[in-house]
Amino acid sequence: MTLALLLGAALAAPTHRVEPADRELGVGMGERWVPRDSRVQPVERACEEEEQGIQIVSVDDWYRLKGKTLVERDEIGCLPKAVLKPVAESPGLSPSELQLRRSYEDRFGPIVASAIKSTPWGRVALPMAHELSSSELDAEYRREGLLTARQKERAVVAEGPARDGHPIYAHFLGSDAARSDRWGTLATVEGLLSLADAWSQFCRERLPEVTPEANPASCLIQFGDLAWYNDARPDPLGHRQHYPGSCVDIRLFRFPASRYEAWWNRADDRAGERGGYSQVLTQSFLSFAVAHSSPSVVHFNDPVIVQAIPQVTASRGHDDHIHMCF
């Protein structure tokens, strides 16, 4: 009876948005995490002073912290009254989200609105057309031969738009909280969309005339860390240069194609013969990126490529990925 009364009260109550002060990403509710922009409804519940009983209506799964378990819809608990803001109606996409959506759709076609996200303080997320489900991740582990927890951390977790049935770019997560490392300035993210689009066409249509290693699968750009939700320092992702939101990490290209990391100076750490680092594809990409996007910083440690492309410089820790800033 009590639960029924609570549910009835929740249905009648106005919806509130969870909006912590400053740049906080959410708020705790007992052992669980309520992300910013989640929706709740007030209910009658015994809470501490300055708290309000609430029921979770929807959970915004963009704002994540490592090690925090998200609340689920219909959970009931208490939250500080100060973080609850009335919601009259959906405000729609923000100006930066509208611009990002236009930039994406002009190149790749329609994308669902939920894949376009910005923060109140000016960051946007790299749009992904498809987030891999748990079953799809299991299939990814099997296909790529990922057996250990560390290997599985390096798996691709989301795909960008497809062209002729093959993704143009993808995102690998690492050990960070889901979706916490995809953020950058609007100019940076739009620049990455432009680079990915142009490279995809060049690599698939023209590069095969020069190297047989170029094909729709091996041309895939695998993006890793961009930046955190904001410019917090020390950088919660553990970087020195990413916090302004204008840098990105990119995996080395492989042949045969594989959605897994490669090293220019060591063998694959998986069992069996799985190919490895493609110097010719990686050098082709870097030459193209320098010409197309004029990055301000490019770090990568293959000495052959450093010698061949003056804009590329060696830097400690860049044996298995490219670091690029704009």
| Residue-level pLDDT at 10 | 45
Which of 175-189, 234-248, 266-280 bottoms out in mean pLDDT, i.e. has the lowest?
266-280
CATH code of 45's domain? 2.30.30
Residue 2 domain-assigned (yes or no): no
User: How many C-beta neighbours within 10 Å does residue 4 have?
Assistant: 8
Residue 22 domain-assigned (yes or no): yes
Task: Tally helices (H) and strands (E) across the chain.
Answer: 7, 22
- Work out the angle at residue 159's Cα, subtended by the Cα atoms of residues 157 and 165, and round it to the nearest 5 degrees: 135
Domain total of the chain: 2
Check whether residue 153 and residue 292 sit in a common domain. Answer: yes
Q: Which structural domain, as residue segments, surrounds residue 172?
A: 95-325
Task: Tell me: pLDDT of 90 over 80.
Answer: no
Check whether residue 70 and residue 110 sit in a common domain. Answer: no
Check whether residue 47 and residue 144 sit in a common domain. Answer: no
- 106-158 per-position pLDDT tens digit: 999 999 999 999 999 999 999 999 999 999 999 999 999 999 999 999 999 99
Higher pLDDT pick, 271 / 303: 303
Check whether residue 61 and residue 111 sit in a common domain. Answer: no
Buried b (16+ CB within 10 A) or exposed e, 149-158: eebeebbbbb
Residues 6+ apart with CB under 8 A from 32: 68, 69, 70, 71, 75, 77
Q: How confident is the model at residue 93 (pLDDT cuts 50, 70, 90)?
A: confident
Residue 1 domain-assigned (yes or no): no
Question: Do residues 70 and 32 lie in contact, with contact meaning Cβ atoms separated by under 8 Å?
Answer: yes
